[in-house]
Structure 1
Amino acid sequence: MVTIQQLREKIANLATQANHLLAEKGDQVWSPEDQAKFDGFTNDINATKAQIKNIETMRELEADKYFQNAAPKKDNDVPVDALVGIALYLRHGQNVSNEQAAQIRNAMSTGTGSEGGFTVPAEIATMVIEKLKAFGGMREVATILTTVSGNALNFPTSDGTGEEGEIVAENAGAGSLDIDFGTVALPVYKYSSKQIALPLELIQDSAIDVIALVVARIAMRIARVQNRHNTVGTGTNQPFGVITRAGVGKVGATGQTTIVTYDDTIDLKHSVNRAYRTRARYMMNDLSVATISKLKDTTGRPIWTPAITADAPDLLNGHAVTINDDVAPMAANAKSLAFGDFSQYTIRDVQNSTTMRRFDDSAFALKGQVGFCGWTRSGGNLLEPAAVKVFQNSAT
């Protein structure tokens, strides 16, 4: 069976050939043969990336995650740290010895179920945050702000891109230009993973890394809903998404319901003030890549540069591309492509707000299952809307 590493090496090889072709042709007008050759590289790259994504999806669905290079621990072993206490709680709930119960209390807070479960220690919270980063794309490019509490928080904003100074005559006074300040709210919301039902036998199996298993499921669910809200959230009982808050920089011409042109990508880029273009990038749905990666400039030269290494981004018009599947794919009226400085979008996490609870009630017990649920508090908003603009497909 082919491995992900082999597939990544294949992508690197294809990208090297594609970039070599770009460099070899330079500013020459591309022939149909050149174009077909380059399109073959990009098609193979996209197909291989899709294959990697499919493999990773199947890995997410696998519940049997075993400890590596470690002997199974016995339940009556003397607890040694907070992680052991968490594992005892996840594996056995309250059905433990007095010594183990003490370790669980030391590892987790004494918060009640009505308050959302037990606050997890820093090690588990860090695991959750790291997994949140792996889904969607917004946490890769946004500014992350951690606050001690979830109290109301307003950020002052001011767009100075239209302001300029002046020349003054000798002995003349300087003119005045007041700065217009505004405020942007950055509230937080309580996110839940929803209840997760897992087989009792799986949880009690000492060979299973129960912490990794439960945390992966909880974090994956929370990450997906947070990324969707941080991307297209309405701002009503949920965060404002970056696409929702950003202005429209370019609207496709009539007939462009499912396509975008090279000129559109350039117009979108220049709809963002130069002050925000230093750190700017493009963001789009993975389904849009197949269309946009084949666009050519006026000489027929591709404007898409495939990444050579796995950890490097693809480039569009020389700017990095972030793939975010919560951006709408191309369709009538869809805001399908964004460009700008996404670090102006701030995600606010509340410190020590990650909680977890195990459920042993009859709804699960009768099915031989154990229930788990996780919570965390977070929010987000685009503090400077002028920093990001979107391309909107034509309505007809």
Structure 2
Amino acid sequence: MDVVDRPALDGARVVPADGAFEGFVRQGATLEMKAFTGVSGDAGGYAVPREIDAAIARVLTGASPIRAIANVVQVGSAGYRKLITTGGTPSGWASETGPRPETATPVLTELVPPMGELYANPSASQAMLDDAAFDVEQWLAEEIAAEFAKAEGAAFVNGNGVNRPKGFLTQAVSTAKDGARPLGTLQYLPSGAASDFGGAPDERLVDLMQSLRAPYRQGASWVMNANTLARIRKLKGSDGHPLWQPGLAEGQPARLLGYPVVEAEDMPDIAANALSIAFGNFAAGYLIAERAETAILRDPYTNKPFVSFYATRRIGGCVADSEAIKLLKFAAA
């Protein structure tokens, strides 16, 4: 039986390769095919790997540098005490064969720095710890350390002494000179005008510097924040030269009237009655007592499926010698 080629019925016609275009020409219909891109997830974006920088950037916060210039002691318990003498040991003159009357003995005073415990207790899920593209535990430890440095620095300057160190700016202040003030009271000098320097600001700074007795000036430094330092850097002496001098070598602090300047962001800005500038020997004047280094406890059991990181640091501080730190108060008197 011979096979006769017959024309195919219209419904059984084979669609050519460019059927989409033919459909558009004949019927106005289109066959749309979306390209794979990484813009949206369902169009191929899920297949594109995300890269996360392992070094996570953080907003830098100013950590007070008071610890670097103060006297830091390691203690074995929270009950730290320090004995200081007031008045010295009186002496007298006598001839070779003359009698030696008894002299007065020194007066001992107990110094007890207020102590408190800094703590942080952040948590992260175990899945986060397992799947994160960076070391979450190391990152949290660094964040805690940075926050602790900021918190303790603020306490060294402005702490109220309740479950935390007592800052040197919260001590009692007086215009009385050394030897005429109660123990623990700091001397301040007025700037000569409210909210600003009075006449001859260079002389006000010299007066503040010279109010610190010579034994303390060995190792003394200025302490102020960046805004106050910006104001100081614009000041010039009577000879027309700037009072502020940049460091002569990299890493060396700038100097004001020959003494290094330490920037502490916790110091107040220049304002009415603000104690914005300090000058002193903080190694002799401020005592920091710490129990130990920061301790971090990893706790994966208390709050499953989260892992808690409980960090603590026991630290205290107070003024040790009120004659070693002087303050400039922005006031007329």
Residues 302-317 of structure 1 mapped to structure 2, 5 A cutoff: 302-317=242-257
Q: Secondary structure at the match of 2:277?
A: strand
**Paired residue for 1:10?**
none
Residues 245-284 of structure 1 mapped to structure 2, 5 A cutoff: 245=171, 247-255=186-194, 257-259=195-197, 261-284=201-224
- TM superposition shift of 1:394: 0.9
66, 77, 88: which one aligns with 1:138: 66
- Looking at structure 2, the residues matched to 177 and 355 of structure 1 have their Cα atoms a distance apart, in angstroms, of 51
1:153–1:187 Cα contact (<8 Å) kept? no
TM-score using structure 2 length: 0.68
**Paired residue for 1:107?**
none
- TM superposition shift of 1:395: 6.7
**Paired residue for 1:147?**
75
- Looking at structure 2, the residues matched to 198 and 321 of structure 1 have their Cα atoms a distance apart, in angstroms, of 41
1:259–1:330 Cα contact (<8 Å) kept? no
- TM superposition shift of 1:284: 0.6
Report the CA distance shift for 1:191/1:395 in structure 2 as closer, same or farther (over 3 A): farther
Q: Which amino acid aligns with 1:169?
A: S
- TM superposition shift of 1:232: 1.5
1:159–1:384 Cα contact (<8 Å) kept? no
**Paired residue for 2:164?**
238
**Paired residue for 1:348?**
289
Report the CA distance shift for 1:358/1:333 in structure 2 as closer, same or farther (over 3 A): farther
Question: What is the aligned length?
Answer: 260
Q: Secondary structure at the match of 2:143?
A: helix
- TM superposition shift of 1:389: 1.1
| 1:350-376 per-position Cα deviation (integer Å, ceiling 9, x unaligned) | 1366233457877x97xxx76544211
Q: Which amino acid aligns with 1:158?
A: T
94, 108, 118: which one aligns with 1:181: 108
**Paired residue for 1:190?**
117
- Looking at structure 1, the residues matched to 271 and 298 of structure 2 have their Cα atoms a distance apart, in angstroms, of 41
Matched, 1:376 2:297: no
Larger mean CA deviation between 199-208 and 306-315 belongs to 199-208
386, 389, 392: which one aligns with 2:323: 386
**Paired residue for 2:39?**
none
User: Could you list the runs of 5+ residues in structure 2 that have no partner in the other structure?
Assistant: 1-51, 57-61, 172-184
Q: Which amino acid aligns with 2:73?
A: L
Q: Secondary structure at the match of 1:386?
A: coil
**Paired residue for 1:295?**
235
- Looking at structure 2, the residues matched to 225 and 266 of structure 1 have their Cα atoms a distance apart, in angstroms, of 32
1:66–1:209 Cα contact (<8 Å) kept? no
- TM superposition shift of 1:173: 3.6
- Looking at structure 1, the residues matched to 251 and 63 of structure 2 have their Cα atoms a distance apart, in angstroms, of 15
Q: Secondary structure at the match of 2:68?
A: helix
- TM superposition shift of 1:191: 0.7
1:332–1:395 Cα contact (<8 Å) kept? no
- Looking at structure 2, the residues matched to 64 and 383 of structure 1 have their Cα atoms a distance apart, in angstroms, of 46
- TM superposition shift of 1:342: 0.6
User: Could you list the runs of 5+ residues in structure 1 that have no partner in the other structure?
Assistant: 1-62, 68-133
- TM superposition shift of 1:198: 5.4
Matched, 1:227 2:161: no
- Looking at structure 2, the residues matched to 199 and 306 of structure 1 have their Cα atoms a distance apart, in angstroms, of 49
1:283–1:321 Cα contact (<8 Å) kept? yes
| 1:140-188 per-position Cα deviation (integer Å, ceiling 9, x unaligned) | 11122112222x1221112458x77544334234462432221110242
| 1:283-334 per-position Cα deviation (integer Å, ceiling 9, x unaligned) | 0111111111222222122111112444211101100111111111111111
Aligned sequence identity (%): 24
